[in-house]
Amino acid sequence: MPLTLTSAPPAGEPPADEALADTPLVGDALADGVPSGLAPARARRPAAKPPRHLADLPMAGRRAAIAELGQPPFRASQLSRHFFGRYTDQADEMSDLPRDARDPLTQALLPRLLTAERELSCDDGSTRKTLWRTFDGALVESVLMRYPDRVTMCVSSQAGCGMACPFCATGQAGLTRNLSTAEIVAQVVAGARLLADGTVPGGPGRVSNIVFMGMGEPLANYANVLAAVRRLTDPVPEGMGISQRSVTVSTVGLVPAIARLAAERLSVTLAVSLHAPDDELRDTLVPVNRRWKVSEVLDAAWSYAAATGRRISIEYALIRDINDQAWRADLLGSLLAGRLVHVNLIPLNPTPGSKWTASRPAAQREFVRRLEAHGVPVTVRDTRGREIDGACGQLAASAR
Ligand code: SAH
């Protein structure tokens, strides 16, 4: 386990960001026109609040929290360098701090948030999946994938998911709660530590790319995800210093939240999980489509591309005889032709008990050919981690 700590829930001020509050935007939207199965967990019980952590706070907030402990505010930057630059939260590794300040500071600002419950690896150790347990017992997953030229970390933004896509393992169990900013960041810091240690084959390395394609709908946890993106991309000591261009936020298509993200003027890539080019099918595969139609989602995506200059990534899980027909490839191609876009075809990873499976090779080839005939760039995603339940939510599902 990469991050081990003594922990004590800190007393004092609440996190500076909106911690576990859903964006009203999305909450309102879900109340209107979306199947009742999409929002029940939030109504049933109040969300538990993880202990405050340095990564929840911008630098000014960290300084204020440290001043409250009676320590000089410049310790905020020292502590931040340990966490974001050296990936440690262990008091005994902080030799630049006075001995008697180390424990109070780490206990107050670097509490343990995630405990590794299971670790699985494949591809000779260059793909590693971790199942994490949160302070309140929720399970979330992250995956580290090392390629010759980059290391991508796939992170979760929520415990569970409220979007109810029927082919997705996470969608079957519903939403438990939003992750805090620090719970999201801690997944990446844990991976960074494994890489820095040389634990991952290929020698010491760094996390270069982040994809919000683990559990959860990132834009339904807008404030915490946005703060996490800032923490991941701000330079050390404010954050980890990963390039914004190397961060991908993947969404089912929450239109108002896409517009809000465009207005942030970040250089992050937006991925839209389309999975069908027509409303009739998308209403069933991605139920939130009953609220925002294909044309609205794509319009929001084109506005995002215009505002940021970033190419939109369209995710399309190919499901045998469901969404892989040649006419759907043509329809998709005609919707995307001439746009700043790239299609990522994902062979369906069948979830336990599902009647659906991946497309036949010939259908997949024809789908690619037709998209290319429309001039739309397309790649078929590799299936890294499949043998360790790499697809969305499957590890947590099997642990339950
Ligand atoms: N909620 C976000 C991000 C999480 S899932 C979203 O929907 O975009 C990341 C991607 O994996 C999404 O495109 C999702 O539709 C896809 N996915 C989920 N389950 C899958 C499965 N069993 N096989 C293939 N792709 C899957």
Each residue of 175-227: pLDDT tens digit?
999 999 999 999 999 999 999 999 999 999 999 999 999 999 999 999 999 99
Per-residue buried b or exposed e for 40-66, using 16+ beta carbons within 10 Å of the residue's own CB: ebbeeeebeebbbbbbbbbbebbbebb
> Does position 299 have pLDDT exceeding 90, yes or no?
yes
pLDDT recorded at residue 25: 32
What is the number of other CB atoms lying within 10 angstroms of the CB of residue 393? 24
> Does position 118 have pLDDT exceeding 80, yes or no?
yes
Binning pLDDT at 50, 70 and 90, where does residue 40 land?
very low
Let me know the angle formed at the C-alpha of 267 by 262 and 271, rounded to the nearest 5 degrees: 70
Q: How far is the CA of 111 from the centre of ligand 1 (A)?
A: 31
Question: Which pLDDT tens digit goes with each residue over 46-80?
Answer: 678 999 999 999 999 999 999 999 999 999 999 99
Residue nearest to atom 4 of ligand 1 (CA): 213
Closest CA to 160 of 221, 112, 118, 248: 221
pLDDT recorded at residue 19: 33
Let me know the angle formed at the C-alpha of 63 by 62 and 68, rounded to the nearest 5 degrees: 100
Q: What is the pTM of this model?
A: 0.89
Query: Which tokens in the block code for residue 43?
Result: 């109504």
Question: Which pLDDT tens digit goes with each residue over 224-256?
Answer: 999 999 999 999 999 999 999 999 999 999 999
CB-ligand 1 contact for 217 (6 Å cutoff):
yes
CB-ligand 1 contact for 349 (6 Å cutoff):
yes
CB-ligand 1 contact for 250 (6 Å cutoff):
yes
> Does position 125 have pLDDT exceeding 50, yes or no?
yes
